[in-house]
């Protein structure tokens, strides 16, 4: 007799539901612990600044490039990862010695080499992944460089992106409603998106306003945070689309309960690149970070 023909054991459904609930709760604790460790490391690197900050984000960018080059499934992954490591390491060294312009000159031939190594059908994907990782590194180093507004710029980004992520999750769960992009990320809702963006912008504005060396105006920085938070959510969807395009669930398994580094930094990368471009566009002092907060 097949087991499916047997009558269900008393309490079987309830036991299964209880097991699923305990598994979900256990996974939530793992996610929370991993998030706490990552946040503590990021805040510690921010507080130290200098080489510790640069090395922390170099490791992050190296992980992003490794995950991307591995995710797309193109030929010669090790060669592409090593070439990317050369460029990303050069970005840090050149930035620290004040010669970042040479990194832009180096980016084109290295990206072209990575594209060649990936082969037909993968060239744009491979080169794009390297530039994606390099964009993260250049953005955070450029923002942190300012002695007065630099630490505030990164702290503001943390507040906007982390606040948007956390509040979008709980807002979507509590309110529900229409899906944001069901074909890309079925779990995301418009309610979660709106709650997350608003709360992230508000938290970022408060952090920047209270920061001792910034004292930025609440209104302007809140509006800026709305744009950064929306782009952070878009960056999350962008990475989800890439993973669906290549048929993978997580970018890697480096972070317990979270997947890969790309899975954690997708929104932050989009917000950081936006922040540095916006800051440079409107900066009266020659600083991307000052352009975000100096509204006098």
Residues 89-100 pLDDT 10s: 999 999 999 898
Instruction: Identify the top-confidence range among 60-74, 94-108, 250-264.
Output: 60-74
Q: Which of 70, 19, 52 is nearest to 259 (CA)?
A: 70
The whole-angstrom separation of Cα 50 and Cα 98 is: 13
List pLDDT tens digits, range 96-119: 998 988 998 999 999 999 999 999
The pLDDT of residue 22 is above 70? no
Distance set, CA 136 to CA 51, 56, 91, 120 (Å)? 16, 12, 11, 26
Give the confidence band of 3 by pLDDT, cuts at 50, 70, 90.
very low
Taking CA atoms, 130 is separated from 60, 92, 233, 266, in Å, by: 13, 15, 21, 14
Find out whether 12 and 19 touch, Cβ atoms under 8 Å.
no
Question: In terms of pLDDT, which residue wins out, 254 or 237?
Answer: 237
At residue 188, the 3 state secondary structure works out as strand
**Sole residue written with tokens 């992009």:** 181
Instruction: State the pTM of this model.
Output: 0.88
Give the list of residues 6+ apart from residue 193 with CB closer than 8 angstroms, or none. Answer: 168, 172, 180, 230, 233
Q: Which helix (H) or strand (E) holds 244?
A: helix 218-245
Return the percentage of the chain with pLDDT > 70, whole number.
90
């Amino acid at each position: 007799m097949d087991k499916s023909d047997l009558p269900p054991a008393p309490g079987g459904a309830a036991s299964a539901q209880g097991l699923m609930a305990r598994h979900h709760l256990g996974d939530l604790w793992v996610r929370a612990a991993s998030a706490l460790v990552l946040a503590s490391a990021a805040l510690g690197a921010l507080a130290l600044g200098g080489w510790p900050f640069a090395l922390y984000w170099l490791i992050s960018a190296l992980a992003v490039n490794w995950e991307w080059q591995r995710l797309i499934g193109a030929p010669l992954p090790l060669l592409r990862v090593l070439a990317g490591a050369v460029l990303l390491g050069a970005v840090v060294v050149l930035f620290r010695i004040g010669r970042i312009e040479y990194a832009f000159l180096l980016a084109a031939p290295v990206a072209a080499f990575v594209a060649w190594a990936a082969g037909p059908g993968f060239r744009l994907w491979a080169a794009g992944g390297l530039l994606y990782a390099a964009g993260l590194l250049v953005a955070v180093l450029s923002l942190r460089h300012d002695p007065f507004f630099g630490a505030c710029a990164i702290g503001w980004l943390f507040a906007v992106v982390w606040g948007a992520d956390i509040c979008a999750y709980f807002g979507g769960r509590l309110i529900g409603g229409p899906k944001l992009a069901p074909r890309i990320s079925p779990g995301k809702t418009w309610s979660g998106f709106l709650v997350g963006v608003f709360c992230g912008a508000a938290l970022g504005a408060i952090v920047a306003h209270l920061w001792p060396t910034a004292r930025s105006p609440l209104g302007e920085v809140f509006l800026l945070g709305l744009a950064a938070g929306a782009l952070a959510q878009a960056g999350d969807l962008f990475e989800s689309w890439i993973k669906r395009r290549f048929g993978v669930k997580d970018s890697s398994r480096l972070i317990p309960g979270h997947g890969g580094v790309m899975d954690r930094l997708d929104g932050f990368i989009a917000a950081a690149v936006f922040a540095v471009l916006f800051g440079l566009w409107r900066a009266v002092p020659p600083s991307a970070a000052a352009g975000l907060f100096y509204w006098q």
